[in-house]
Structure 1
Amino acid sequence: MNKTLLKSVREYKKQSVMAPLLVVLEVFMEVLIPLEMAKIIDVGIAQGDMNYIIQRGVILVVMAMLALFFGVQAGNMAAVAGAGYAKNLRHDIFYKIQEFSFHNIDHFSTSGLVTRMTTDITNVQMAYMMSIRLLARAPIMVILSWVMTLLLNKKAALLFLIVVPVLGGTLIFIAKKAHPHFIKVFDEYDVLNNSVQENVNASRVVKAFVREDYEVKKFHGISQYVYNLFTKAEKIVAWNSPVMQFVMYTVVILLVLIGGKSIIGGQMETGELTSIIVYALQIIGALMMVTFVFVMIMIAQASTDRITEVLEEVPEMQDKENAVKTVDNGEIVFNHVNFSYAGEGGNLSLKDINLHIKSGQTIGIIGGTGSAKSTLVQLIPRLYDVTGRQVKVGGVDVRDYDLKVLRDQVSMVLQKNVLFTGTIYDNIRWGDKDASEEEVKRVCRLAQADGFVQEFPDGYNTQIVQGGNNVSGGQKQRLCIARALLKKPKILILDDSTSAVDTKTDALIRKAFREEIPDTTKIIIAQRISSIEDADQIIVLDDGKVMGVGTSEELLKTNDIYREVYESQVKGGGEDE
């Protein structure tokens, strides 16, 4: 475990310390037990002293009970520490993800982040729990058992000085061979999870195109590759057990040989030989525990690296020390802005964008696919940072604002509308968690959503299933618009957010905007001319450049791109009937 991850132990430090301390007490009791057994054999049984046997037997039982008590308590402490540590890690990763910009999230796949918060954390949890218990137990057991063996027979003790380093070297060799395979396995887990996620999210498309067999084949290929990697790693790790067993039996045979000669020569008692063999088994058993934990640590090491990568990722967007806490108005200025998703030196998605949008204006944006319409508006709430020059909101560079304050005042309905599991009330209140029922209904009326919501049997208490699949595309769009309006923003951005509603409903939504929120700056990205025809200004984008700005009448006279779209829709009957 590295320092970054160990910070997440926090309130479970006490249990993390108590577990190994209790293990030490458990081991101490277990190491004393063979000595008592030797005394019972060499004194009590040899001399036929029943009182001595009972006396030592009682002591033996007390030691065994104490060992059991300390062992159970150590197990409880380790379990609490491991589970608590995993809980804190999940919290820390999830909290860190909330700070990520889109650029940071793009660095990790969604499935990769899910794998890190589930499989990887489980691996780390198991390794941590085993480490604080078994790794504390093994070295103490080896040392104390060896000291006891040294007191009983020096030749037997010297044997262990040869065996332990050989076993340790073998374990390290096996670990180094297996570790690269485990790293590959968890990278492929991301691919596997991504395949499942993609298939489930697009299940309607898969079934519509009857591509189930193709998806199954694709999944089987990835799953088979993960199986092959795991098999390679496990085949290497599988050498642990037979090597340990071979060494254990070899040591026992050699001890019997050494002890037998010593007993015949009168230098050792039978009970002492029995104790030495028990100590030998304790030492070998402790080393076998180490191998088990070693395998867990090997698996967890790959997971540790992946979790650390998320925790050490530096959020691209961070608030300045004296960040601006208020947005005065909805004025927007693009000052010769350049933007590339790849950062400096990358291909520019936006080129020399120079715009001035007055507070309260309604702005339409139109352009072909790939003209960077969505990219342009995502710079306003600072979902991405500009590559060159600046974007200003309310006269202040967006990079100088407190991010929460800025995004509270720039309400955005994205192209891909998302509703969350819960009631319609719960979803709308994402805009304002303290909003009253009447406020929720008011914004739904503005978004032309109140009508269809009232038709549901449970009205606003209707449950939205995962992904919002129990409402239509148009209904989903209107609920998302209502959610955005509840924030009472100074800037409202609709990124093609009325594409699934009919032209009459679209017109009613725009009418409500004009009458109810006149002071809010409204930016509407649309493919339909009718959605933006009455805007104060229309921006025409093409290949990341502004090709024209003006009213619909002005652009019809001066802009070929706008005129072509207008004529194809209005004169050619391209508008929805």
Structure 2
Amino acid sequence: MLEMMKDLKKYKWSIMAVILFTLAGTLLELYLPTLMADVVDVGIVNGDVPFILQTGGWMFLCSILAIGFAIAVTYFASKIALGFGRDVRRKLFVHVENFSLQEFEKMGPASLITRTTNDVKQVQDVTNMMLRMMTRAPLMLVGGIILAVSRDAMLSLVFLAALPILAGLIFLISKKAIPLFGLLQKRTDRLNLLLREGLVGTRVVRAFNRVEYEKGRFNEANEAYRDTGIKVNQIIAFVFPVMMIIMNFTNVAIVWFGAMRIDAGEMAVGNLMAFLQYSMMILMSLIMLSMAFIMIPRAQASAKRINEVLKMHPLIHDPKYPVTSSDKNGYVEFEQVTFRYEGAEKPAVKKVSFTAKPGEITAIIGSTGAGKTSLLQLIPRFYDVESGMIKVDGVNVKEMPQQELRQKIGYVPQKASLFTGTIADNVRFGKLEATDNEVIEALTTAQAIDFVNEKDDGIETMIEQAGANLSGGQKQRLSIARALVRKPNIYLFDDSFSALDYKTDARLRKALQAETKDATMIVVAQRVNTVKDAEQIIVMHEGEVAGSGSHEELLQTNKIYQEIVASQQTEGESA
């Protein structure tokens, strides 16, 4: 929590304003009981009406000023807390954007979302509370004790019995609450994870009649969250009755012993009334502090989770002394590349070597799990190789700035990812400054212009979240158009034609040949028809290169390729 407080330095002037306004408002509130005592002991006892009116006027003025200072404190505290929350969210988002896929997999999207929203809000709310309460309560407590003692030192001994009980109560509550708040945030993670899975996979859930099963999983997590929340709220609910009991018994004791001192002529009635007001202020400040001590553990648990993300440094980062390639052709070279996923027993890719040249299509084919997608993801450095080297235009990708490397690449993922916005916005994701003509040209090459023109708004048609209003093939074609519009040196197609029919697939490949004739194209595919025209076909088997060459060469020499071709010789697809 203290580490995060360093980010409040930029708000130092606003924080000083909060402290000054709080100090001024608290002093005015502390002055009011003294004025009230004077009204009783001087004005009422002596029947001095002008004194009563004059002192009452001062009390009214002090009250108005105290209210004004309280409003100012609330305004500045809210502004600081909300600004601080915005800064932390932005810091988290920017930091997470630099993560490699390994860090994403380690944390999980559901947990990252919870940490960026729920956890930041907990810290933000406690910051607001601390600025308002943690400055006011100590001032009120110390000022109230000093003024109460100055009124009657003997009567102040009543606090010696009440304060240790309150302090012990606060300590016990904090000890119980800290572990529960941490557990509550973990329960929130689990709830978000199941909710996200249920919403994203709703079609699969219904198709397999697993609605009741998913309900059961969600209810289990929901009830676990509820039970933990109830325990937390039980602790918080326990505080107020106990505090009120202690406060009321303290007031009874003050009135009891105060009446005795008044009867003995050792204390004035106005002083007793002022003393009661000060005791209320002291006890209320302790309640405020207890609330702060209850909420701070939850914020600490949230701050710890936020810091876990901020302290997680990306495994993939730009080199200290980057090398910029002068060659812009798009050569891609794999030299004895080996890669394994974290925690995996054996490599996903093992000692792979090949060269992909500009103006040529390099196709990668193989059975499921052969390492095709892993190979492709190593080129833009979504992951780093374990050994060996990948070169782009003669430079090791580890020695290039990531932005420069990825600027050379047009990547079409296996699963088409679209964003909420218009079709034009999604295509321009590849090139922000693309004109409407460039967008239409890319859509035409990607064989998407026909269905786009059928829409009432054309390229300005809105795409729903995750492209819910488009078919799988339409989403794939828009993803391809997004890569085409930036006209990169290297095209990476990760099984990007799987949702297309044979006719559209053939038209698209023909259009791509004309559009990408000077670029390097690396295509991962399942269909032989998609890759048979490639200048170089690499056959992958269990993470290793099982053969390479043209379609005709592999048909003659490579047994694995022959098996793949034989398995696809159907009426619709023939080698």
> TM-score, with normalisation over the residues of structure 2?
0.96
Displacement of 1:576: 8.6
Displacement of 1:401: 0.9
Matching residue's letter, 1:141: M
2:524 equivalent in structure 1: 525
Displacement of 1:250: 2.1
Residue 380, structure 1, aligned to residue 376, structure 2? no
Query: Take 1:239 and 1:469, find their aligned partners in 2: how far apart are those partners?
Result: 48
Matching residue's letter, 2:158: L
2:172 equivalent in structure 1: 173
Segments of 5+ residues of structure 2 without an aligned counterpart are: none
1:136-535 correspondence runs (5 A): 136-326=135-325, 328-342=328-342, 347-535=346-534
Query: Take 1:403 and 1:44, find their aligned partners in 2: how far apart are those partners?
Result: 80
Matching residue's letter, 1:340: R
Matching residue's letter, 1:220: N
Higher alpha-carbon deviation: 482-491 or 446-455: 446-455
Displacement of 1:516: 2.2
Q: Which whole-Å deviations, capped at 9, do the CAs of 1:289-308 have from their partners, x for residues lacking one?
A: 11222222222221111112
Matching residue's letter, 2:213: Y
Q: Which whole-Å deviations, capped at 9, do the CAs of 1:74-116 have from their partners, x for residues lacking one?
A: 1111111111111112211111121111111112111111112
Q: Which whole-Å deviations, capped at 9, do the CAs of 1:53-75 have from their partners, x for residues lacking one?
A: 11111111111111111111111
Is the alpha carbon distance of 1:391 and 1:156 closer, same or farther for their aligned partners in structure 2, counting shifts above 3 Å? farther
Displacement of 1:389: 2.4
Contact kept, 8 Å, 1:338 with 1:353, in 2: the verdict is yes
Contact kept, 8 Å, 1:420 with 1:468, in 2: the verdict is yes
Matching residue's letter, 1:153: D
1:36 equivalent in structure 2: 35
Segments of 5+ residues of structure 1 without an aligned counterpart are: none
Secondary structure of the corresponding residue to residue 239 of structure 1: helix
Displacement of 1:361: 2.1
Displacement of 1:154: 1.2
Is the alpha carbon distance of 1:576 and 1:254 closer, same or farther for their aligned partners in structure 2, counting shifts above 3 Å? farther
Displacement of 1:463: 1.1
Query: Take 1:431 and 1:478, find their aligned partners in 2: how far apart are those partners?
Result: 14
1:92 equivalent in structure 2: 91
Query: Take 2:549 and 2:405, find their aligned partners in 1: how far apart are those partners?
Result: 27
2:14 equivalent in structure 1: 15
Displacement of 1:7: 4.0
Contact kept, 8 Å, 1:430 with 1:483, in 2: the verdict is yes
Aligned-pair Cα RMSD in Å? 1.8
Displacement of 1:163: 3.0
Secondary structure of the corresponding residue to residue 547 of structure 1: strand
Matching residue's letter, 1:291: S
Secondary structure of the corresponding residue to residue 498 of structure 1: coil
Contact kept, 8 Å, 2:568 with 2:574, in 1: the verdict is no
Query: Take 1:339 and 1:116, find their aligned partners in 2: how far apart are those partners?
Result: 31
Displacement of 1:484: 0.4
Displacement of 1:443: 1.4
Secondary structure of the corresponding residue to residue 238 of structure 1: helix
Displacement of 1:497: 0.3
Query: Take 1:8 and 1:505, find their aligned partners in 2: how far apart are those partners?
Result: 54
Displacement of 1:162: 4.7
Q: Which whole-Å deviations, capped at 9, do the CAs of 1:405-459 have from their partners, x for residues lacking one?
A: 1111111100110111111111100111101111111111211112221222221
Q: Which whole-Å deviations, capped at 9, do the CAs of 1:311-366 have from their partners, x for residues lacking one?
A: 222122221233234463321122211112217x8532111122222233211111
Displacement of 1:164: 2.6
Query: Take 2:178 and 2:540, find their aligned partners in 1: how far apart are those partners?
Result: 52
Q: Which whole-Å deviations, capped at 9, do the CAs of 1:374-417 have from their partners, x for residues lacking one?
A: 11110000011112222111111111111111111111100110
Contact kept, 8 Å, 1:9 with 1:88, in 2: the verdict is no
Contact kept, 8 Å, 1:362 with 1:522, in 2: the verdict is yes
Contact kept, 8 Å, 2:529 with 2:574, in 1: the verdict is no
> TM-score, with normalisation over the residues of structure 1?
0.96
Is the alpha carbon distance of 1:359 and 1:162 closer, same or farther for their aligned partners in structure 2, counting shifts above 3 Å? farther
Matching residue's letter, 1:569: Q
Matching residue's letter, 1:575: E
1:561 equivalent in structure 2: 560
Matching residue's letter, 1:265: A
Matching residue's letter, 1:195: L
Matching residue's letter, 2:14: Q
Query: Take 1:251 and 1:541, find their aligned partners in 2: how far apart are those partners?
Result: 81
1:59 equivalent in structure 2: 58
2:536 equivalent in structure 1: 537
Contact kept, 8 Å, 2:338 with 2:388, in 1: the verdict is yes
Contact kept, 8 Å, 2:138 with 2:285, in 1: the verdict is yes
Query: Take 1:155 and 1:354, find their aligned partners in 2: how far apart are those partners?
Result: 90
1:551 equivalent in structure 2: 550
Q: Which whole-Å deviations, capped at 9, do the CAs of 1:493-520 have from their partners, x for residues lacking one?
A: 1100001112222222222222222121
Query: Take 1:361 and 1:173, find their aligned partners in 2: how far apart are those partners?
Result: 72
1:575 equivalent in structure 2: 573
2:134 equivalent in structure 1: 135
Matching residue's letter, 1:321: K
Higher alpha-carbon deviation: 242-251 or 476-485: 242-251
Matching residue's letter, 1:89: V
Higher alpha-carbon deviation: 84-93 or 203-212: 203-212
Secondary structure of the corresponding residue to residue 448 of structure 1: coil
Query: Take 1:162 and 1:400, find their aligned partners in 2: how far apart are those partners?
Result: 70
Matching residue's letter, 2:375: L
Contact kept, 8 Å, 1:8 with 1:92, in 2: the verdict is no
Query: Take 1:86 and 1:95, find their aligned partners in 2: how far apart are those partners?
Result: 14
2:119 equivalent in structure 1: 120
Query: Take 1:457 and 1:468, find their aligned partners in 2: how far apart are those partners?
Result: 17
Query: Take 2:568 and 2:232, find their aligned partners in 1: how far apart are those partners?
Result: 61
Contact kept, 8 Å, 2:351 with 2:388, in 1: the verdict is no
Contact kept, 8 Å, 1:175 with 1:237, in 2: the verdict is no
Q: Which whole-Å deviations, capped at 9, do the CAs of 1:32-58 have from their partners, x for residues lacking one?
A: 100111111111111111111111111
